[in-house]
Amino acid sequence: MLEHEIAPMTSYQFPPGFMWGAATASYQIEGAVSEAGRQPSVWDTFSATPGHIYDGKTGEIACNHYHLYETDVKWMAELGIQHYRFSIAWPRIIPDGRGRVNEAGVDFYRRLVDCLREHDITPHATLFHWDSPQALEDRYGSWRSREMAMDYADYVTAVVSRLGDRITDWMTINEISCFTHMGYGVEATPPHAPGTRVRTAKEVWQTSHHAVLAHGLGCQAIRAASPRACTVALVDNFAVTVPISESPEHMVAAQKALHTCGSNGGIIFPVLTGAYSPALLEQLGADAPDIQDGDLDIIQQPLDWLGLNIYSGVYVRAAENQQGYEFLSFRDNYPRLHMPWLWILPEALYWAVRHVSDSLGKPELPLLVTENGCAAPDVVNNQGEVIDLERILYLRQYLKALHRAVDEGYPVRGYFLWSLLDNFEWAWGYDRRFGILYTDYETQQRIPKASFHWYQECIRQNRVV
Ligand code: FCB
């Protein structure tokens, strides 16, 4: 072999047809908040209130994707993704939350989807990524009311009956725990819209109960309204319990701990198994939500995929206490990236998959990683480049962990990187950058970071490079 010849690399190869993608969400990228009939969402109101968002920022302009979507789709094509996950803004489609449909709002998504299709990119639309209409907050307090689930289902019908000719992959709701437990939580930090502090834990659980109910009604509405065969998924960010080591006792401990970690027992459990976790209900006692007859049947709908948003996890070990496990907290110098919660734990991706298949008893349910990525303090250097080595390190480790799950035969079908471009990171405003495209917010120029080129090569070779 000549010295300059490099033997072809084949390790960490994904199966043919593995879906490579990237993800975004409407309020985080679109801007154009009062264009073509859109009315405010709770995030417009929340971010306009001083003290809520870092540096007083809002999503008023964000990445101006509403106007620049063609440029952004060109970047996607350049990247080589065949799948793109984005969300549809309810207040563009039904500005008052219920009632009249704003056709001009629907048209924006028609243009976007047609542009994606022209570039052979399959659209995956999330129907709700937190930007609910302010009108419903004013009317009945959004997710505090059961009416929200009914209004959501009507909104879904309006969208799917209009766009179902060109979108066939639907995701009902993104990360229920965030806009319920963090949006209403008595002690939630950083705060999330609508930011209403309810008085009791029971009221918080009631908001997430209404959201899982909305998911179930949404699945039914999609299937009823779609003019074509389609797929339906939930996107969940359940808290992943990772055994401190892969010994039988610690693995059993991680399985048990899954029930009471975060809000798992009241979200992913009823969605997949048709019941709240008994361990959670016991822990909640009088704080458990009111569940009406028939709710659980609605909540547990057949799914074509489950979407997993995984960034980090929680270490667990076996313990000689009543539950048989304990959670281990991270010490301050445990490695993390540019968010307080972004502890680097690649095995969380592997264990997320195993928990769905094994602990939740759904070995046949196809899985998509619908979000994974990290924030880093990116800057443009004097050669005009963004060399985000931390992001490459992070993504490479997580993808290797995912590959392990694929290799062991678990039904992982695809991966969507969060995010295509730097965007409005909720309470952190524009201070935290998750993109593989750098967004210059002054000029709205996009600059591909080193991680963009790295991910492009993974896609090209269909393996972790
Ligand atoms: C997830 C959200 C997404 C983004 C990432 C960093 O929780 O779904 O909108 O903010 O975190």
Q: How far is the CA of 4 from the centre of ligand 1 (A)?
A: 43
pLDDT tens, position by position, 268-306: 999 999 999 999 999 999 999 999 999 999 999 999 999
- pLDDT of 110 reads 98
Buried b (16+ CB within 10 A) or exposed e, 223-246: eebbeeebbbbbbbbbbbbbbeee
Residue matched to tokens 């907290």: 329
The residue among 73, 17, 80 whose CA lies nearest residue 453 is 80
Cis peptide preceding 95, ω within 30 of 0: no
- pLDDT of 8 reads 83
pLDDT band at 190, cuts 50/70/90?
Answer: confident
Give the 3-state secondary structure of residue 318.
strand
Give the 3-state secondary structure of residue 446.
strand
103 among known catalytic residues: no
Which helix (H) or strand (E) segment holds residue 282: the answer is: helix 278-284
The residue among 426, 433, 419, 338 whose CA lies nearest residue 55 is 426
Q: Which atom of ligand 1 is nearest to the CA of 237?
A: 7
Percent of the chain having pLDDT more than 90?
96
Q: How far is the CA of 129 from the centre of ligand 1 (A)?
A: 9
Q: Are 452 and 56 in contact (CB under 8 A)?
A: no
Helical spans, DSSP H, in 291-336:
295-299
Is the pLDDT at 333 greater than 80, yes or no? yes
- pLDDT of 2 reads 61
175 among known catalytic residues: yes
Q: What is the DSSP string of 107-167?
A: HHHHHHHHHHHHTT-EEEEES-SS--BHHHHHHH-GGGSTHHHHHHHHHHHHHHHHHTTT-
Instruction: Check if 434 has its Cβ closer than 6 Å to any atom of ligand 1.
Output: yes
Buried b (16+ CB within 10 A) or exposed e, 115-141: bbeeeebbbbbbbbbbbbbbbbbebeb
Q: What is the mean pLDDT of residues 105-121?
A: 98
pLDDT tens, position by position, 35-78: 999 999 999 999 999 999 999 999 999 999 999 999 999 999 99
- pLDDT of 260 reads 98
- pLDDT of 186 reads 63
Is the pLDDT at 189 greater than 90, yes or no? no
198: left (phi over 0), alpha (psi -120 to 50) or beta: beta
Nearest Cα residue to atom 4 of ligand 1: 425
Residue 343 β-bridge partners: 336
| Domain spans, the chain | 19-461
Per the prediction, the chain carries an average pLDDT of 97
Is the pLDDT at 30 greater than 90, yes or no? yes
Cis peptide preceding 190, ω within 30 of 0: yes
pLDDT band at 1, cuts 50/70/90?
Answer: low
Domain 19-461: give its CATH architecture. Alpha-Beta Barrel (3.20)
User: Cα(136)–Cα(96) distance, rounded to whole angstroms?
Assistant: 7
Buried b (16+ CB within 10 A) or exposed e, 94-110: bbebbeebbeebbebbe
pLDDT band at 185, cuts 50/70/90?
Answer: confident
pLDDT tens, position by position, 387-418: 999 999 999 999 999 999 999 999 999 999 99
pLDDT tens, position by position, 165-176: 999 999 999 999
Q: Are 448 and 22 in contact (CB under 8 A)?
A: no
Q: What is the mean pLDDT of residues 14-22?
A: 98
Q: What is the mean pLDDT of residues 186-210?
A: 89
Phi and psi at residue 413, to the nearest 5°: -110, -20
